[in-house]
Amino acid sequence: MLDIPSSVSVDVEALLAAQNHMGVCDAIEQYAPVGKPDTMTAPHFPKVAGIDSTVPPPAHTVAPASPEPAPPSSPGAPGAPGAPGAPGALIQDRLAGWVSDLTTLHELTERLARTAFMDDALHEVLRAGAALVGARRGLVVLEPADGLGPDTTVGLGLARADLGHIETVPRGATSYGRILDRTDGTGEPEVHADLLSEDGLDPRHREVAARLGYAASFALPLATDAAGRLGAAVWLYDEPAEPVERQRHLVGLYTRYATEHLARLLELERARTKSRTIAEELLPPRLPRVAGVQLAARHRTGPRGGGDWYDALPLPEGALGLTVGSVTGSGASAVAAMGRLRASLRAYAVMEGEDPVAVLSDLELLLRLTEPARSATALFAYCEPALRKIVMAGAGHSPPLVIGERRTEFVETSLSAPLGMLACWEAPSVEFSPEPGETVLIYTDGLLHRTGDPMDRAFARLHAAAAGVPRTIRNDAGAIADHVLHTVLPDGLDAADSDEDVVLLAARFE
């Protein structure tokens, strides 16, 4: 909150200041007694959320006093103490306006600072700007000047179809288009107080404005010297109107702060996108087609990029290698480690895939020698679809789940430590045979962790989701994977940004 002194003693000709429409600080500066610096201290209003408090006089200041005031001794005269037009009342009203404006800006910028993702921040900028300029609808066009994207348009009170209509207007005829196409780098607003009465208005723009029911617009660039040009914000009025000088000043202060915040989020968004792209490129672009088995995979990457992987590798004599795993940590280093382990595991699977224990033992040795500070969990399965036979070994990984008409159960695997946790890893493999039409679901721990439940309850939720797969989709591995994912992680948890990656690999045997 603002720290404003409870009482301010001002030795100025406040009446003259009010008559000349001066601000409190301007009056203090102009009419301060010369040679008496110690007898008066001008109030100093601190910056709020990085915003300078130098704003024009509030619009709701009371009217100035009459140029011919009654004698001070007359009751009710403007100069008398307590009169409605007294200089003290004028200064108090103006000070109240300052406090109100600064408090509003403080609250709006704090709300914006709490946004961590670009889409949320753009919506917040639109809502705050609409409140400041008195508009009901608007849109933000994000188009960074460096051309690296992302380019997007977000609306307030405008449906996607409405934004589509606006985008049919020639770019040069729109307020945001003229702002984005400027080459002089100026930050002047685009104001159209009565849009439909303008003689040179583009016919398509006139048609769209009439269709959507807006009659005026006010647009500002989202640009600063430090951040460069990021885009433009436009607010739309239902009737002919335009913001007054004070509203323009306040929304200008807000958008300058908002641009700096958006610039930081833009850097984070680009870093997240690069991390996700690298992680996806290190995973299989497509799953192989192998006779006797139907494959489907689902992968969700966290915002910082994680180290979860999956793979399906055709092996000699019609065999198939299936693997999922997870590297500890997150970010670029975990993604790079995941890529190295997955590539190494593919090589080991080709050489000795029929022995999953040997494959994971070699991977353990590689991890311990090349990345001793990192650990990983992994599961490798050697499948013979023609015989419906699976030999599997796991290193600290969750057990697979078999989904069928007559059973839904976890495969009992031997307890083992993650890779890199022991001087020498080795655990016995297990062998089982899925029935025709059954699906084996292999997954990473992120699926369980994203639920937010204790592990025993998360396993129970996973089992219930698998048991509840509708009969109509049991012949489709992809539909089974989708049903399990959306049931275990409802209400968008599967798509929400999280530190936990999610991998599901479903193999349905014919």
Give the C-alpha separation, 389 to 253, whole Å: 68
Amino acid 109: pLDDT: 94
Residue 79 lies in a domain: no
Q: Supply the pLDDT for residue 10.
A: 38
Residue 216's DSSP bridge partners are: 237
* CATH number of the domain to which 249 belongs: 3.30.450.40
Tell whether the model's pLDDT for residue 55 goes beyond 60.
no
Same-domain status, 252 and 306: no
For residue 71, tell me if it sits in a domain.
no
Q: pLDDT: is 50 or 411 the higher one?
A: 411
Residue 26 has φ and ψ, to the nearest 5°, of: -65, -40
Do 260 and 286 lie in a common domain? no
The mean per-residue pLDDT over the stretch 407-415 comes to: 85
Do residues 106 and 123 both lie within one domain? no
The per-residue b/e assignment along 270-287, b for 16 or more CB within 10 angstroms, e otherwise, is eebeebbebbeebbbeeb
- What is the structure's pLDDT at 426? 72
Convert 47-61 into a string of H (helix), E (strand) and C (coil).
Answer: CECCECCCCCCCCCC
Same domain, 239 and 375: no
Whole-angstrom CA distances from 300 to 197, 265, 420 are 52, 21, 25
Pair (45, 105) in one structural domain: yes
In a domain, 4, yes or no: no
Same domain for 469 and 357: yes
Tell me the angle at which helices 332-352 and 356-370 cross, rounded to the nearest 10 degrees.
140
Please tell me the pTM assigned to this model. Answer: 0.64
**Strand partners of residue 310:** 324
Encoding tokens for residue 21?
């429409």
As a whole number, the mean pLDDT across the chain is 82
Same domain? 433 vs 354: yes
Asked if the structure places residue 493 within a domain, the reply is yes
Task: Find out whether 416 and 424 touch, Cβ atoms under 8 Å.
Answer: no
Q: pLDDT band at 244, cuts 50/70/90?
A: very high
Which pLDDT score, from 0 to 100, does residue 84 have? 54
Judge residue 232's burial from the number of C-beta atoms within 10 Å of its C-beta, 0-12 exposed, 13-18 middle, 19 or more buried: buried
Q: What are phi and psi of 312, to 5 degrees?
A: -135, 120
Question: Residue 305: pLDDT band by 50, 70, 90 thresholds?
Answer: low
Specify whether the CB–CB gap between 324 and 330 falls below 8 A.
no
Give per-residue pLDDT as tens, 471-498: 999 999 999 999 999 999 987 676 666 6
pLDDT in tens, 126-152: 999 999 999 999 999 999 999 888 999
Q: Looking at the predicted structure, is the pLDDT value of residue 73 above 60?
A: no
- Exposed / middle / buried, residue 472 (Cβ in 10 Å: 0-12, 13-18, 19+): exposed
The pLDDT value recorded for residue 336 is 86
Rounded to an integer, what distance in angstroms lies between the CA atom of residue 108 and that of residue 9?
31
CA 98 from centroid of its chain's CA atoms: 33
Same domain for 120 and 40: no
Query: How far is residue 223's CA from residue 365's CA, in Å, rounded to a whole number?
Result: 53
The yes-or-no verdict on residue 44 having pLDDT over 50 is no
Q: How confident is the model over 442-451, as pLDDT tens digits?
A: 999 989 988 8
Region of residue 292 (left: phi > 0; alpha: psi -120 to 50; beta: else): left
- Look at residue 276 in the predicted model and tell me its pLDDT: 74
Q: Which of 52-61, 150-159, 446-455 has the lowest mean pLDDT?
A: 52-61
Given a cut of 50, whether residue 22 has pLDDT beyond it is no
Please identify, among 241, 268, 295, the residue that sits at the C-terminal boundary of a domain: 268
Q: Give the count of domains, the chain.
A: 3
Give the three-class secondary structure for 116.
coil
Q: Which helix (H) or strand (E) holds 296?
A: strand 293-300
Residues 147 and 263 in one domain: yes
CATH code where residue 301 lies:
3.60.40.10
Is 168 within the bounds of a domain? yes
5, part of any domain: no
> Are 252 and 258 a contacting pair, CB within 8 Å?
no
Residue 7 placed within a domain: no
Scanning 186-244, the segments in alpha helix (DSSP H) are 203-212
Q: Which of 23-32, 160-169, 444-453 has the lowest mean pLDDT?
A: 23-32
Which range in 47-61, 92-106, 355-369 is most confidently predicted, on average pLDDT? Answer: 355-369
Nearest-CA neighbor of 394 among 372, 374, 410?
Answer: 410
Cis ω on the peptide bond leading into residue 150 (within 30° of 0)? yes
Question: 451 is written with which tokens?
Answer: 């639920």
**Residue 61 belongs to domain spanning:** 14-66+86-111
- Going by pLDDT thresholds of 50, 70 and 90, the confidence category of residue 54 is very low
pLDDT band (50, 70, 90) for residue 51: very low
250's CB contacts (< 8 A; 6+ apart) are 55, 101, 104, 105, 132
Q: Are residues 176 and 292 in the same domain?
A: no
CA distance 350 to 316: 8
Read off the pLDDT of residues 337-382 as tens digits, 9 standing for 90 and up.
888 999 999 999 999 989 999 999 999 989 988 888 889 999 999 9
Domain boundary residue among 268, 296, 331? 268
What would you report as the CA-atom Rg of the chain, rounded to the nearest whole angstrom?
33
Q: Of 268, 290, 313, which residue constitutes the final position of a domain?
A: 268
Per-residue pLDDT, averaged over 238-257, amounts to 93
**The most confident of 16-20, 167-171, 185-189, by mean pLDDT:** 167-171
Whether 106 and 124 map to the same domain: the answer is no
Which residues, in sequence order, are CB contacts of 160 under 8 Å at separation 6+?
none
Residues 462 and 422 in one domain: yes
**pLDDT of 37 over the 80 cut:** no
Whether the predicted pLDDT of 271 surpasses 70 = yes
Examine residue 251 and state whether it is found in any structural domain, yes or no. Answer: yes
Sorting pLDDT into bands at 50, 70 and 90, what band is 184? low
Residue 504 pLDDT: 94
Residue 23: the pLDDT is 40
Task: Look at 34-48, 230-244, 281-295, 372-386 and tell me which has the smallest mean pLDDT.
Answer: 34-48
